[in-house]
Amino acid sequence: MVASEVFPFSKTGGLADVAAALPRALARLGHDVVIFTPRYRGVREGRVIHRGTVTLGGYRRDYALHDVPLGDHARVLLVDCPALYDRPALYHEHGVDYADNPLRFAVLSAVAVDWAATQSPGVNVLHGHDWQAGLLPIFARRLPGVATVFTVHNLAYQGTVPKHWVNDLGLSWHDFHPEGFEFHDHLSFLKAGLFHSAALTTVSPTYAEEIQTPEAGEGFDGVMRARRDRLTGILNGVDDDEWNPETDAHLPAHYSARDLAGKALCAATLRQRLQLPQPTAPGAVPLIGIVSRMVEQKGFDLLAQLRGELLSLGAQFAVLGSGEARYEQFWQSLAAEAPDRVSVTLGYDEPLAHLIEAGSDLFLMPSRFEPCGLNQMYSLRYGTVPVVRHVGGLADSVTPYRDGQPSGTGFAFHPYSAEALLASLREALQVFRERPAEWRLLQQRGMALDLSWERSARAYVRVYKGVLADR
């Protein structure tokens, strides 16, 4: 596999969690998995197992591979090349992409293919994640027996760069056409992955359908329709080693669906840490958690339209995230206006993310679009009832509560509007306040779901076997 981020070595979003969990889940099913990722600044782990030189067009780069085991039968090979990866950030600084990103990520795929070419017994499958790994199937052509698989985690990120990169990276102009990697007279890494891989997956069944429509296709809906017979939607899982309320090392107390007592202690610790007042009676003031990149994808523009309404819900908010300045400022000003109701933590904080998942009563995720979404699944696991927009992977993981029906695990709205969000939030708060027994059932049903990576990994194995059989 090739991925531009792998937890805990690097992470800006859910891709890192997936890239760490899927290899281990496949390994538990008996497969040998190696995942290539950059050795970014600050990564110390690894034992050097190989030094090499990669040549792409006019570029030559020396690198070393640092080996880190991921349990049995899975390992990470960190590609050490300081000239490319020893930077303050992963992809961009101050909103400006690193100008050599095409080279940085082309090298990553090229190194993986060079390594695969030397393996005996040989590699069966090369699996790339997101645009950064888009050139993997192009470089893999020199390994005729190998099946290529490409996973879309987010179609909004496309790696579309000026066409001089075709020459610069030593690619072929024969592929520079609409059914190759040409996209509006540019080179698109994403399109390379989509058109040149034998099989495609994305991270939920609903998103797999949505991206075939102009509304959600981000300009690639035609491509997705052209390749629909190759496309499978596979919902991500929850990594039990990292996200389990019975064992989570970041929590002051543990709990399970049978015994939720520890969750109250997590809530008290969370409020104390965020300096939110403790409620006078248990359950008197619901706590709503948000952990998110603060970008339009996540529905922050809807929240920004609801300023007064959010403060008058009689709830508290624990918000963690970072992103666009306008959304950061919105939450900062809300917290300044009502410090007893709103806490915002700007930045990236893994332990706090866990504590918010555990200590909140509700989790809010009103995404405009959501390929899968992990936080709503972590919430389900942690007995924190999700309030989501019914879209993408949110629709595939959260069953909306309907009065009198014994199936709901959360609350969902569909129209992308502040009114719809507010109505859903109000409904959730009403059930929380007035029907505690119903609420308990909502929590327990969510906690009982099978969100395991094993289920997802088996679906990936079916995809791998399908392409191997087709060759």
| Sites for ligand GLC among residues 373-432 (CB under 6 A) | 373-374, 393
CB nearer to ligand ADP: give 230 or 389.
389
Torsion angles phi and psi, residue 194, rounded to 5 = -70, -40
Beta carbon of residue 73, minimum distance to ligand GLC (angstroms, whole number): 22
Interaction of residue 17 with ligand ADP, rule CB under 6 A: yes
Pick the stretch among 28-36, 121-129, 159-167, 320-328 that binds ligand ADP (CB under 6 A): 320-328
* Residue in the structure block whose two tokens are 């007042």: 277
| Sites for ligand GLC among residues 198-257 (CB under 6 A) | 203, 236
Q: Cα–Cα–Cα angle for 420, 423, 429, nearest 5°?
A: 140
Element spanning 17, H or E: helix 14-28
CB nearer to ligand GLC: give 159 or 371.
371
Structure tokens at 415: 């129209």
Beta carbon of residue 387, minimum distance to ligand ADP (angstroms, whole number): 15
Interaction of residue 291 with ligand ADP, rule CB under 6 A: yes
Map 232-287 to HEC letters: EECCCCECCCCCCCCCCCCCCCCCCCCCCHHHHHHHHHHHHHHCCCCCCCCCCCCE
Among 80, 182, 370, 396, binds ligand GLC (CB under 6 A): 370
Interaction of residue 372 with ligand GLC, rule CB under 6 A: yes
Q: Which does 203 bind (CB under 5 to 8 A by kind): ligand ADP, ligand GLC, none?
A: ligand GLC
Beta carbon of residue 29, minimum distance to ligand ADP (angstroms, whole number): 23
Dist CA 403 CA 384 (whole Å): 19
Dist CA 431 CA 438 (whole Å): 7
Parallel, antiparallel or unpaired: strands 92-93 and 96-97: antiparallel
Interaction of residue 15 with ligand GLC, rule CB under 6 A: yes
Interaction of residue 456 with ligand ADP, rule CB under 6 A: no
Mark 333-372 with x for binding to ligand ADP (rule: CB under 6 A) and - for no binding. Answer: ---------------xxx--x------------------x
Per DSSP, helices labelled H in 146-245 are: 164-168, 189-196, 205-210, 221-226
Dist CA 455 CA 464 (whole Å): 15
Residues engaged in binding ligand ADP (CB under 6 A) = 13-14, 17, 291-293, 320-322, 348-350, 353, 372-375
